[in-house]
Amino acid sequence: MDYIRLLLEQQPLVALFLTIAIGYLIGEINIKGFSLGVGAVLFVALAVGWFAPKSAPAPMVGTIGLALFLYAVGVQYGKQFFLGLTSAAGRRANVMALIGVLLSGLVSLLIVKTMGINLGYGLGLFAGSGTSTPTLQAAIATLGNDDPAVGYSVSYPFGVAGPILLLYLTYMFFKPKVDAGAGSGMELLEVVLRNSDLYGRTLGEVMGGLPAGAQIVALRRSHHNEPASPGLIVAEDDVVLVVASTKEILVEAGRHLGQLAHGRLVKDRSDLDYVRVFASRAVVVGRSIGDLELPSNKAAIIAHVRRGDTDIMPRPDLVLEFGDRVGLLANRGDFAGLRKFFGDSIKGTAEFSYISIGLGMAIGFLIGAIQLPIPGIGKLAIGLSGVLIVALILGNLRRTGSMNWTIPLSANLVLRNLGLTLFLAQVGMSSGPKFAATVAESGLLMLGLGAIVLLALVLPILIFGLLVYRMPYDEVAGIVSGACGNPAILAYANKLAPTERPDIGYAMIFPGMTIVKILFVDIVPALL
């Protein structure tokens, strides 16, 4: 054992990546739907740090890792975050989450004052109950020691399992009716126009009368198919191809338009055919569909966009991202030109601009280093929050001139997970000895206190959402997931409520609450 300890301490990079490998192996263990995921890296790192105290890599490793995580999160969720701030529903959701986060922070401070707990441990309980790794880093930086890592590691399991359990219990108690929709695929329907109120109107006017989530993408007239153009004048017996996100919406649209047709438009591909391409060219990515001029000799139309595992109805304001699979209706003779225009490269969907990442993170670090005077507190620097704030702004902008700020989803996930893993491994290895001593002395007490802080975070959101505002369960589940932050909670919410609302809620809430948590641990020590 002494030989292994010596090896790990002499080769810290070996220790680092061995910790990561074992951590992920343990994190994949699933017990009735619960797993630690990337959080297991922290616990393995604590064990390695206790066993070989001198094996911890330099603190900069963790800082760089966390900065990558924050930047990737901000760029991905920037648009949803700002949309949440500008809508009434989004503001209400953010206020609910803010109440929960601040209450959990106040409870952690109350524990520090009444129980005689070390302030670092208390802030760690706050960070761990909210599974917020950036908050942990901020607490460590503010206090100048690793005490927060101890509280974080003790409360982290509750931070993951607790919200999952509470979501399950509330689901069983309220038994909400959650419409799972029609899956990830788009629904198609051919309709012969039989509504006399529509004759002589433009196709744009006709589409304006369709239910939300339905769209006309093609029209057949005189045995020829053509893409749907808003300026086309429709007439009796025209056949239109309608796409919708659910069968229910499709049926409603069909009733409004006329009678069902049977394959006349879809079977004839002499004028129009379907092709799917990858959006991988920088000149295309970051631009809205309405701004694109498709290079086709004959008319072509974007009928479908698939991003990740989600199908999206094409809209003029929909901004394309790297890796989007774009479905087009076009003449076969234009296929080659369309593929060239969009790039259609799988390799290209995983590439991104190191220039944009370098500039974005540099600006974020500079803003984070600015010391702002706060009355009664002194000067305060927001630290790594600056990286997240800048990333949110850039993620909302998407593009500035020729500079594209977006990161392909696949690459984003890699950067995010790698960064988070590096930070957890580094901070766990550096705080292992202190963690072991604290748990041996007061482990059960800390576990109980962590559970109390977690309840203070989640219960207010559930009470306000389900009992006060009577919001849909899937929407509340998304807010809880965003306030807590851990992706495992979001994944469980999606299992209970397989709609888009949990994902939307998470995207709206997570970035803002991360900033609030960081600012809380930055400010509180100056007030005590």
pLDDT at 36 (0 to 100): 67
pLDDT at 166 (0 to 100): 93
* More confident: 182 or 210: 210
Q: Cα separation of 428 and 49, whole Å?
A: 7
How many beta carbons lie within 10 A of that of residue 420, not counting itself?
24
Please give the structure tokens belonging to residue 72.
């990737």
Q: Cα separation of 343 and 346, whole Å?
A: 9
pLDDT in tens, 270-319: 888 989 999 988 788 888 898 898 887 777 889 889 887 778 888 888 88
Which residue segments constitute the domains of the chain, with CATH numbers given? 57-178+359-527 (no CATH), 187-349 (3.30.70.1450)
- Average pLDDT score over residue span 400-411: 82
Percentage of the chain exceeding pLDDT 70: 94
pLDDT in tens, 120-150: 999 999 998 988 878 988 898 889 888 898 8
Mean model confidence pLDDT for the chain: 85
Q: Is the pLDDT of residue 415 over 80?
A: yes
**Mind giving me the DSSP string for 27-83?**
HT--BTTB--TTHHHHHHHHHHHHHSGGGPPPHHHHHHHHHHHHHHHHHHHHHHHHH
- Average pLDDT score over residue span 233-246: 88
pLDDT at 201 (0 to 100): 92
pLDDT at 183 (0 to 100): 44
Q: Cα separation of 145 and 59, whole Å?
A: 12
pLDDT in tens, 419-457: 888 988 888 888 777 777 777 777 678 878 888 999 999
Determine the residue type at 325.
R
- Cβ neighbours of residue 439 closer than 8 Å, sequence gap 6 or more: 150, 154, 446
- Average pLDDT score over residue span 54-60: 87
pTM recorded for the entire structure: 0.72
Q: Cα separation of 435 and 113, whole Å?
A: 21
- For tokens 């959101």, the residue is 461
Most confident of 73-82, 155-164, 358-367, 478-487: 358-367
How many beta carbons lie within 10 A of that of residue 354, not counting itself?
8
Within its chain, how far is the Cα of 436 from the centroid?
34
Q: Is the pLDDT of residue 257 over 50?
A: yes
Terminal C-alpha separation, the chain: 44
Query: For residue 193, which phi and psi values (nearest 5 degrees)?
Result: -65, 120
How many beta carbons lie within 10 A of that of residue 333, not counting itself?
11
